[in-house]
Amino acid sequence: MIQVEDLTKDYGTVVAVRGVSFSVGKGEIVGFLGPNGAGKSTTLRVLAGFLGATSGHVRIAGHDIAKAPLAARRALGYMPESAPLYPEMRVSEYLMFRARLKEVPRTERLRAIGGAMDRAGVSHMAGTVIAHLSKGYRQRVALADALVSNPPLLILDEPTAGLDPNQIRDVRALVKDLGSDRTVLLSTHILSEVEATCERAIVIDRGRLVAEGTIEELRARQRSTGLELRVRDPHAAAEAALTAVFGVSVRSGVTEETAPDRRRLRLGLDAALDADTVTEAVVQALTAAGIGIHALVPEQASLEQVFSALTRHEPSAAPEQSAETA
Amino acid sequence: MNGFLAVYRRELLSLWVTPLAWVLLTVFLLLQGAIFYSIITHFASMSEASVDTGPLQAYFGQESIFLLMTLLLVCPALTMRVFAEERRSGTIETLLTAPVTPASVVLGKYSALLTTYALIWAPTLLYVVVLRKTGVVDWGVVGASYLGLLGIGAAYLSLGTLMSAMTKSQLVALLLTIFVEFGSFILGVGEYIFEPGVFRDICAHVSMMSQMEDFSKGILDLRRVVFDGSVTLLGLFVTTRVVDSWRWG
């Protein structure tokens, strides 16, 4: 549905997006991820045809946006960041205007508006003046606007920004629902949003594409750098045994309060070594010392960790991680 | 042209559901009423009327400076928000990502402004009806006069639309429009100031007052029509280019 080749966009001397290439297939829900100011909105604005690319090619539903801008725009429903609307219009008036603008045939307009309002959950607000709507409802009206021409592709720029937790959950459910029969590209800087709604993510940082893949693939990019160990160890001998193993450092050791002979250890693994080999050495060392192993869990990288590792700006900073997994 | 009609209807709705058009209509009619009343009382007190002048000619022609002053007030106020507001609020993004061309957006908005301008003038037709009760009305004069006003309005609104597209601030758009339109008005006054020569001819050519004086006598000078039309088209063309240029900002 979307093919982006070597897209660059600069604002005078500031380069907002540089050499980004990616594609989004039919029926996918893709998260466009990046910290604030990474170039997410700029990229989406180029895709939606609001901004022209400085160089590179963008094809929307097979139409080059530079050569056939109207055909490309007909194929997509775009919701800009912060959902701008005309405050003086009623919801139904606004959607009627948008339906006319998007060339919905006259006989189908009322049905299209009704359907869009139903899906976005604003049917009961049809007669309300937009100025009187809350932020959450404005967001939904903007979403209904994106849906009104029933486009095969939706581009949503931060659809949950500024909403309360309940509204965020509603919008995510709606996006998932919409994704069942069309392609959705949504931008966000909230990782849990991508994990909750998207099958695939594209990560950009400072105008460059830094990673692309399914959520699992992204997670796998971050190698396991820690082990969590539960052992039977009445004499606290495990730590001494482990310090002898090359490439392992004991981060913490806690004796369980209910069972004084059990300890919970967290180990850091040297990132330069193969994690599997080191794990094997750890097990051998503990067995040789006569310590019973109850559990051995490799720490799994959360998407947060992947994200911060990908978008960290100082390469020297060591990935000091928390134990929480996603 | 689908986009044109949709933009036209929305713009017209926005103009008339917000107080702006109504406030302008009220102020405009109060001013016109005052001008017309003073002209009527002036003619009523005259002992003998000359053949080639009457209240209508005075209103649209010799005394058209008052009428043009109100236009210098009304037209910039009408056009100031047309693009500036959309850019400030961000709705321009939804508008320009719909399958519409910049030309149909500009034309749709401009046509709505011109329609509003015509609607604001419409009640002044009552003045003609009032005069008809007491004397003979030359409908040619009335038609030509309104055509002249439409031409001036078309040019002023086109310039105002352009100014509104140049800035995100309605106030700056208002001031720029007043500056440009008042400037062209003052240039027209030059006709009465300068010695005969090329410069005076230029001033006479662009003078809105002379245009109204000609049209109020029923003289349809094609040069005037061409001038108004060129200013209008140039303004709209440049506005379209400005709207197009936002993609490259």
Put simply, the answer to whether A49 touches B96 (Cβ < 8 Å) is: yes
A13-45 residue pLDDT tens: 888 899 999 999 888 899 998 888 888 899 999
Q: How many CB pairs under 8 A join A and B?
A: 75
pLDDT at A216 over 90: no
Which residue among B7, B93, B99 places its CB closest to the CB of A103?
A: B99
Q: Provide ipTM, 2 decimals.
A: 0.88
Kindly list the domain boundaries of chain B, sorted by start residue: 2-43+52-248
Averaged pLDDT for residues B185-208: 86
**Taking CA atoms, what residue in A is nearest to B243?**
A50
Domain with CATH 3.30.70.1710 in chain A: 226-300
List b or e across B121-146, with b for residues whose CB sees 16 or more CB atoms inside 10 angstroms: beebeebbeebeeeeebeeebbebbb
Put simply, the answer to whether B95 touches A101 (Cβ < 8 Å) is: yes
Substitution target in A45, A81, A101, A139 with the highest count of B β-carbons within 10 Å is A101
Q: What is the dihedral of CA B76, B79, B80, B86, to 10 degrees?
A: 180
Which CB contacts under 8 angstroms, 24+ apart, belong to B204-212?
Answer: B208/B64, B208/B68, B208/B152, B208/B184, B209/B64, B209/B65, B209/B68, B211/B148, B211/B151, B211/B152, B212/B60, B212/B61, B212/B64, B212/B67, B212/B68, B212/B145, B212/B148, B212/B149, B212/B152
Which residue among A52, A89, A142 places its CB closest to the CB of B247?
A: A52
CATH topology (fold) of A226-300: Alpha-Beta Plaits (3.30.70)
- Set of chain B residues whose Cβ sits within 8 Å of the Cβ of A78: 94, 97
Helix (H, G, I), strand (E, B) or coil at A203: strand
Substitution target in B97, B101, B105, B109 with the highest count of A β-carbons within 10 Å is B97
Which residue among B13, B100, B101 places its CB closest to the CB of A93?
A: B13
A236-295 residue pLDDT tens: 777 788 887 877 877 777 777 777 778 888 888 777 777 778 888 888 888 888 888 888
pLDDT at B91 over 60: yes
> What is the least distance, in Å, from the CA of A193 to any CA of chain B?
24
Domain with CATH 3.40.50.300 in chain A: 2-220
More confidently predicted of A77 and A223: A77
Q: Which CATH superfamily is domain A2-220 in?
A: P-loop containing nucleotide triphosphate hydrolases (3.40.50.300)
